[in-house]
Amino acid sequence: MPTPILGFYSSVASLSAPALKILLNQRLKAGKEDERRLAERMGIPSKKRPSGRVFWLHAASVGEAQSALILINALLAANSDIHIVVTSGTLTSANLMESRLPDRAFHQFYPLDHPKWCESFLNHWQPDAVLWMESELWPNMLGAVKARRIPAVLVNARLSQRSFTRWSMAKGTVRDLLSAFTLILAQTPDDKTRFETLGHSHVVMSDNIKYSASPLPYNESALSALQAMTGSRPCWVYASTHDGEEALTCDTHKKLKETFPDALSIIVPRHPERRDAIADTVRAHGLSFALRSQSESIDEATDIYIADTLGELGLFYKLCPAAVIGRSFSNDGGGGHNPIEAAQFGCAVLSGPNIQYQTDLFTSMENENAVTILQDKSDLAPALLSLYENPEQLIAMQDNAKRFANDKAHVIDTVLHFLQSPFGLTA
């Protein structure tokens, strides 16, 4: 029997269809839903169920979807007899999945948590196994999965101290929710302890699947062309910049030039459509620049190279010995992007203090001297100067980052190993 809280939630949810439809229409008007596929949000699938075994993997949004893609590719490569239906709840994650899902995997929008919509979804897909990414828990769907005795695993599970404190206030209810999962694969020892304290008896620490992501792609001929233009100039890349970080790049560049007059700073903006604003910022600092989107060359007079194109970050990680992780110093206070991508290319990795979206990852890297976390914008120029004035220090940081990335690359193998028993899989 569900706890009183879950029983009350289910009763209220069963009456919520009119309100949920209003919510979906409001989201549609706000551009947050796909009109052609709105029925999927009400548990009405738009695709036929493939024959044979079907696994269902749920990844709430873009962050979880990126980790999910690693798992999806590994599962399909090792098991030729399965198909995977992938659900998420945002347009951005849906677009990502549609463009990157391999054969035998396809996307559907996750239905809102109405009991009948959940049943409709499960009746159609009849999943042989369920994988949920990280920590999003929907009571009615999990209750339906549990009632059908479908093997389910919470993968890449994480639980912050703040969430743990909140969940502990309803420990019995949370224990009931988590009991839908046959197994929980936690990212860190702390996550493992928190899930166990909440009452789950089968929790394993498997590490973060993000570590097993393939290195970003890059074009060899484009790399050769850039190497010919940059020669032996000391260069660094500020990767996936947000507002405020382009100005920091310019300030840092001016300080670097005092010691290295031929220094080259490269900006790869997170959103290339900001190119005009970025160009204005560079002009305001009295620096010269070249725009990659305009095929402008790097010459001796170029201070800043603005790589305002999509899908080329790997190229600049390969080109530059040092990389600063974007959004770690931004005006919005954000939270740093994925530092593993830079480490995989053997960059010396630097970051600002805003790492809240990747705290565990940055902390693990910092413990292995694979990243340097700076506390103030004024620390960036001295840190880069120190690297270029001390080649041995630069090489040591590069080696530490590369070693960390290599050591963590096999996390996906560990995850597949733990999935063998509950799902009858091949690792």
CA dihedral 381, 387, 388, 390 (to 10 degrees): 140
Marked catalytic residue, from 64, 245, 312, 341 = 64
DSSP string, 156-212: EE---HHHHHHHHTTHHHHHHHHTT-SEEEESSHHHHHHHHHTT-S-EEE---GGGG
Of the candidates 414, 386, 387, the residue with the CA atom closest to the CA atom of residue 399: 387
**10 and 177 in contact (C-beta within 8 Å)?**
no
**Which residue, 360, 294, 285, 352, is CA-closest to 323?**
352
Cα(308)–Cα(246) distance, rounded to whole angstroms?
A: 12
Bridge partners, 289 (sequence order): 304
Burial of 3 (0-12, 13-18, 19+ CB in 10 A): middle
CB hemisphere CA count around 190 (13 angstroms): 11
Query: In whole angstroms, what is the distance from residue 156 CA to residue 206 CA?
Result: 8
CA 74 from chain center: how many Å? 17
Q: Does 258 qualify as catalytic in the annotation? A: no
The strand ranges marked E within 44-168 are 53-58, 82-88, 105-109, 129-133, 152-157
Question: Sheet of 304-306: strands edge to edge?
Answer: 289-291, 304-306, 264-269, 235-241, 322-325, 348-351, 372-373
- Answer yes or no: are the C-beta atoms of 343 and 408 closer than 8 Å: no
Active centre residues (catalytic): 64
